[in-house]
């Protein structure tokens, strides 16, 4: 593949910036088109599991991510009322030993800033306030229209999320589907809660139709939380819609003390509906290709949405660099990534039932978790195919 391969990426989120860095590191000429006026992210944490960190290591960003993040000691699932431990999994130290890479919690804005700086320093051209309106495949290139001029490239990458303009043209898809789940998220200064109240772990409190997640970011100075609740109707997908803190507190009234105290210390939150789409028949059309949520939107119940976009980015770049024919490269990428992404989509959906079980289903869930406590090897067997997968050794 020519070292002047021209790659046009739609979207400057985690997937788009990772793809930009992967392509430019391989010698491609990369332009990223982002419709926002600035690259930013409303305050929120994100989890980077070992499979994602494998790509960051290959791209040279892992050290910066580790320095900006927090490595959780253990992963814990607790009872929502009394905080009884249902399952505990050692993470810090154990994951590095088993998977070769750590598990890191990081502020989204910090991760995006790290990826952006590395991509720009490597030579990527990021253009803001550019909305892609259409693309057209031609014999030897792809022609892309935006609201501020037109572009041509060898490949167009749609990394523009669940409401992807590229996917909409490619698939003619309609609106995303509401899953019956809504979420609040927020950040609390660690100094605003009792010392030691929230452990420096990946903590989940599971309750009927509801669950609560907490972990630290920004050098353990901030506590990130995500609170999920089943809800019959919802209309918005926006991550930046301000939430009502009083409603949030009411939804988790009577929960374990760490949850209620953390929410009492919370001054502001955001809320959003969780949406997904049916599996797409294909992720490619001529020289246009999708990755991340544009190709396979994922519910957050396995914390693998960003990780899959990061894996996609590496796989796509390497498939293109290893194949001189674009169509062959994109076909190889889709064939490699689609089964894994679909599997993780299904696991993420099923975890909602695990966390939100009630009545007899909760008793069955607790029995399975008790068995997992008694058989640690079973936990490893569950996580090995997810966290032990290293896309940089596959392609």
Q: Decide: residue 214, CB within 10 A, 0-12 exposed, 13-18 middle, 19+ buried.
A: buried
Does 300 map to a domain? Answer: yes
CATH of the domain at 42: 3.50.50.60
Report the length, in residues, of the chain. 395
Q: What is the pTM of this model?
A: 0.95
Widest pairwise Cα distance in the chain = 64
How confident is the model at residue 240, as a pLDDT? 64
Angstrom distance (rounded) from CA 285 to CA 287 = 6
In a domain, 149, yes or no: yes
Nearest to 215 by CA among 363, 44, 329, 98: 44
Inform me whether the pLDDT recorded for 2 exceeds 60. no
* Per-residue pLDDT band at 235 (split at 50, 70, 90): low
- Whether residue 360 lies inside any domain: the answer is yes
Distance, in Å, from the CA atom of 371 to the CA atom of 382, rounded to the nearest integer, reads: 13
Q: What are phi and psi of 286, to 5 degrees?
A: 60, -115
Task: Say whether pLDDT at 237 is over 60.
Answer: no
Q: Indicate the pLDDT class of residue 238, thresholds 50, 70 and 90.
A: low
* Domain encompassing residue 289: 6-175+277-394
C-alpha to C-alpha distances, 249 to 69, 246, 261, nearest whole angstrom: 27, 5, 10
Q: What average pLDDT does range 180-204 have in this prediction? A: 94
As given in the structure block, the two tokens for residue 287 are 């020289």
What is the per-residue pLDDT across 52-111, written as a single tens digit (0 to 9) for each?
999 999 999 999 999 999 999 999 999 999 999 999 999 999 999 999 999 999 999 999
Active site residue 387: no
Residue 234 lies in a domain: no
CA atoms within 13 A on the CB side of 262: 30
Burial 367-383 (b: 16+ CB within 10 A, else e): eebeebeeeeeebeeeb
Cβ proximity of 76 and 204 under 8 Å: yes
Residue 395: pLDDT over 90? yes
User: Going along 4-44, which residue ranges are E strands?
Assistant: 6-10, 29-33
Decide if 117 contacts 60 (C-beta within 8 A). no
**Are the beta carbons of 114 and 64 closer than 8 angstroms?**
yes
Tally of domains in the chain = 1
Q: What is the pLDDT of residue 173?
A: 64
**Within-domain flag for 260:** no
Catalytic residue among 215, 216, 333, 389: 215
pLDDT score, position 71: 98
Q: Which tokens in the block code for residue 86?
A: 């249902």
CA 215 remoteness from chain centre:
16
Mean pLDDT for all residues in the chain: 92
The pLDDT of residue 110: 96
Give phi and psi for 35, each to the nearest 5: -75, -25
pLDDT for the residue numbered 1: 44
Q: Which of 120-129, 171-180, 192-201 has the lowest mean pLDDT?
A: 171-180
Tokens standing for 97? 């030993």
Residue 43 within a domain: yes
Strands 132-137 and 142-146: antiparallel
In 3-state terms, what secondary structure has residue 342?
helix
pLDDT bracket for residue 17 (50, 70, 90): very high
Kindly report the number of other CB atoms within 10 A of residue 105's CB atom: 22
Alpha carbon distance, N-terminus to C-terminus of the chain: 16
Q: Residue written as tokens 């409303």?
A: 42
Share of the chain above pLDDT 90, in %: 76
Q: Are 174 and 168 in contact (CB under 8 A)?
A: no
Q: Map tokens 């939100």 to a residue.
A: 356
* Token pair of 79 as six digits: 């009872």
- pLDDT tens figures, 28-51: 999 999 998 887 766 689 999 999
Instruction: Say what the pLDDT of residue 42 is.
Output: 64
- Could you give the CA distance from residue 21 to residue 8 in angstroms, rounded to a whole number? 12
Whether 206 is in a domain gets the answer: no
CA distance 186 to 197: 17
What's the pLDDT tens digit per position in 143-191?
999 998 999 999 999 999 988 999 999 987 666 788 888 999 999 999 9
Is there a domain that residue 86 lies in?
A: yes
Q: Nearest to residue 374, comparing CAs of 86, 72, 95?
A: 86
Phi, psi of 134, deg, nearest 5:
-170, 160
Residue 379 is predicted with a pLDDT of 73
The two structure tokens encoding residue 172: 């003619």
Q: What beta strand segments (E) does the chain contain? A: 6-10, 29-33, 45-48, 74-79, 85-90, 104-107, 125-127, 132-137, 142-146, 149-153, 155-158, 177-189, 202-207, 210-217, 222-230, 241-242, 270-276, 284-285, 288-290
């Amino acid at each position: 593949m020519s070292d002047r391969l021209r790659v046009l990426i739609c979207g400057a989120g985690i997937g788009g910036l990772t793809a930009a860095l992967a392509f430019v590191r391989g010698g491609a000429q990369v332009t990223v088109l982002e419709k926002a006026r600035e690259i930013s992210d409303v305050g929120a944490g994100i989890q980077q599991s070992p499979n994602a960190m494998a790509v960051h290591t290959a791209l040279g960003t892992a050290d910066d991510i580790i320095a900006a993040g927090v490595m959780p000691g253990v992963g814990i699932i607790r009872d929502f009322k009394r905080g009884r431990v249902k399952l505990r999994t050692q993470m810090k130290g154990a994951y590095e030993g088993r998977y070769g890479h750590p598990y890191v919690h990081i502020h989204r804005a910090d991760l995006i800033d790290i990826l952006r700086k590395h991509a720009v320093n490597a030579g990527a051209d990021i253009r803001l306030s550019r909305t892609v309106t259409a693309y057209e495949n031609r014999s030897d290139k792809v022609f892309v229209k935006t609201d501020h001029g037109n572009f041509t490239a060898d490949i167009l990458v749609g990394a523009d999320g669940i409401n992807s303009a590229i996917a909409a043209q490619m698939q003619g898809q309609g609106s995303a589907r509401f899953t019956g789940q809504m979420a609040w998220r927020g950040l609390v200064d660690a100094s605003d809660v009792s010392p030691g109240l929230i452990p420096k772990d990946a903590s989940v409190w599971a309750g009927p139709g509801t669950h609560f997640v907490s972990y630290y970011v920004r050098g353990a100075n901030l506590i990130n939380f995500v609170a999920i609740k089943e809800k019959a109707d919802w209309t918005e997908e926006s991550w930046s819609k301000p939430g009502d803190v009083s409603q949030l507190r009411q939804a988790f009234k009577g929960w374990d003390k760490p949850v209620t105290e953390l929410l009492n210390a919370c001054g502001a939150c955001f809320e959003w509906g969780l949406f997904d789409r049916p599996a797409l028949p294909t992720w490619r059309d001529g020289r246009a290709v999708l990755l991340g949520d544009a190709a396979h939107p994922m519910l957050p119940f396995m914390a693998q949405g960003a990780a899959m976009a990061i894996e996609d980015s590496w796989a796509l770049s390497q498939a293109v660099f290893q194949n001189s024919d674009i169509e062959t490269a994109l076909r190889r990428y889709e064939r490699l990534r689609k089964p894994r992404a679909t599997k993780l989509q299904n696991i993420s959906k099923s975890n909602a039932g695990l966390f939100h079980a009630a009545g007899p289903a909760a008793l069955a869930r607790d029995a399975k978790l008790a068995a997992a406590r008694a058989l640690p090897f079973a936990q490893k067997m569950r996580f090995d195919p997810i966290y032990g997968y290293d896309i940089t050794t596959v392609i």
